[in-house]
Amino acid sequence: MATIKYNNVGIRAISACVPKKIVYNKDLEYLIPKDEIEKTINNIGVIERRVVDDDVCASDLCYKAAMKLFEDNNIDPNSIDVLLFMSQTADYRIPATAPTLQHRLGLSIDTLCLDLSLGCSGYVFALSTAYAYASMEGVNRVLLLDGETFSKIVNKRDKVDWPLYGDGATATLIEKGDFGESTFILKSDGSGKDAVIIRDGMRNKITPESCIEKEEEDGNIRSGLEVFMDGMAVFNFAMKRVPKSIKEIMEVTGSSMEDIDWLVFHQANKFMTDFFTKKLKFDANKVPYCIQKYGNTSSTSVPLTIVSELYDKLKDGDKVVMSGFGAGLSWGTAMIQIKDCQVSPIIEY
C-alpha cells in the first residue's frame, strides 16, 4: 500500500465558500413520490444543498475562498510557491484552471501551478501532494484549492444523484513548520471505474446523441455528458474498504481510536458513514457532519466539513483522521496533527 509520512509540514489555514442559492430536497415531488421524500432525506441525510448559478464555476468559489484565507491571515500572494487546483469540474478541458487562478489571485508568475483530478477521495490525495511539495527545499507555502460544481454535470431528473450532490469550494494553506508527523494511506482500484462515470467525452467521442437525455435501465434520466453512479457498487466498495483503511492507519501510526479527536469522513451519505462509525466503535460525537446542509460536495466535502463544523472546535494538539473515497475507484486516509491552524468562518457567493 502507498503509505507516506511527512514531517514538519502542516495546515496553517483553511477557508470555504458555498453558493448562496439553496435547494431543498423536500421540494423534489416532481422526481420522488411525496410519500418517499422523507424516507429519502433520512437515508442520505441531505436536507438542503447549495447550487451555483449557470455563470459560476468551481474556480469562482475557490477564488473567493482563497481571498478570504488571504485576508483573514494577512497572507502576501507573492509568498505562495505552489498552487494546486483539485476538481472534476474544471473551467475548461484546456487550459488547466490553476494558472487562471494564479492570475486572478495575483500570485507571482514564478508560482508552480497544477490541476489535479480525482473523485470524492480527491482532497486527501491532493493534501498529500501539497505536503510533498511543501517538504521540498525551495518551497515554503502551498495553496490547495478544492472546488466542485456537480450541479452542472448531474441531471435534475436523476433520482440517484440529483438529491445528493451540492456545490462548494475550499482553500487550504500548507506550510513548513513544527507540525510533527502526518501519515497518508492512498489506494486505488481501477477495476471499478464504471461505478461513477461520465461516459462520453474522450474515449467515447461526443456526438449529437451524447446530448440527448434518455431513461436508462435504472429508471433515471441522464445524457452521456452527465454523471452516472452505480449506488450499490459504491456502497459495497466503501463498506469493504473504508473501515479497513482507518484501522490500517491506526496500525501504521501505532495509534488507537481513543487517540483520535476528530474523524472526518467524505460526506457520501449519512447512513453509510454512521455505519462506519459504529463498526469502528468510535464516539459519534467526534464525527462531524455537514451533509445535511451542503449535500455530497465530492472532493471538497472533507475540508468543507472541517470549516463548517469544526471552525471553533479545533485546538492545538488535536489528531484528525480524514477519510475520502469514491470514483476511480480510490480511497485515501490521512492522520494529521493540528497546530496553529486558523479556520475562517464559511462565506457565500
Instruction: For 281-291, write each residue's pLDDT tens digit.
Output: 999 999 999 99
Centroid of chain to Cα 258: 25
Mean pLDDT value across the chain: 95
The residue from 57, 120, 290, 341 that is catalytic is: 120
pLDDT value of residue 106: 97
Q: Is the pLDDT of residue 198 over 60?
A: yes
Name the least confident of 7-21, 215-229, 237-251, 279-293: 215-229
Residue 340 — left, alpha, or beta (φ > 0 → left; ψ -120 to 50 → alpha)? left
Give the three-class secondary structure for 99. Answer: helix
74 given a catalytic annotation: no
234 vs 100, 102, 328, CA distance in Å?
Answer: 33, 35, 10
Beta strands 141-149 and 112-116: pairing type?
Answer: unpaired
In whole angstroms, what separates CA 127 from the centre of its chain? Answer: 11
User: What CATH number does residue 260 fall under?
Assistant: 3.40.47.10
Q: Which of 95, 197, 93 is nearest to 154 (CA)?
A: 197
Q: What does the pLDDT average to over 128-142?
A: 97
- pLDDT at 223 exceeding the cut of 90: no
The kind and range of the H/E element at 334 are: strand 330-337
pLDDT digit string, tens, across residues 165-195: 999 999 999 999 999 999 999 999 999 999 9
Out of 39-48, 50-59, 73-82, 121-130, pick the least confident. Answer: 39-48
Catalytic residue among 266, 269, 290, 341: 266
pLDDT > 70? residue 252:
yes
- What is the value of pTM for the model shown? 0.96
Q: Which pLDDT band holds residue 52 (cuts at 50, 70, 90)?
A: very high
- Which of 186-190, 199-203, 252-256, 283-287 shows the lowest mean pLDDT across its residues? 199-203
Is there a catalytic annotation at residue 62? Answer: no
How far apart are alpha carbons 136 and 34 in whole angstroms? 56
Q: What is the pLDDT of residue 90?
A: 96
What are the pLDDT digits (tens) for 310-338? Answer: 999 999 999 999 999 999 999 999 999 99
- What is the structure's pLDDT at 37? 92
The grid coordinates of residue 332 equal 485515501
Banded pLDDT at 1 (limits 50, 70, 90): low
Give pLDDT tens digits for 64-96. 999 999 999 999 999 999 999 999 999 999 999
Q: What number of helices (H) and strands (E) belong to the chain?
A: 8, 16
Told to judge if 103 belongs to the known catalytic residues of this protein, a careful annotator would answer: no
111 or 35, which is more confident? Answer: 111
Q: Structural domain tally of the chain? A: 1
Under a CB-based contact definition with an 8 Å cutoff, are residues 45 and 292 in contact?
yes
343 by DSSP, 3-state: which? strand
Task: Characterize 124-144 residue by residue with b for buried, 16 or more Cβ atoms within 10 angstroms of its Cβ, and e for exposed.
Answer: bbbbbbbbbbbeeeebbbbbb
The pLDDT assigned to 218 comes to 74
| Per-residue 3-state assignment (H helix, E strand, C coil) for 153-204 | CCCCCCCCCCCCECEEEEEEEEEEEEEEEEEEEEEECHHHHHHEECCECCCE
Q: Supply φ then ψ for residue 15, to 5 degrees.
A: -145, 170
Range(s) of the domain holding residue 96: 1-349
Residue 147 has pLDDT above 90, yes or no: yes
Residue of 25, 155, 220, 296 marked catalytic: 296
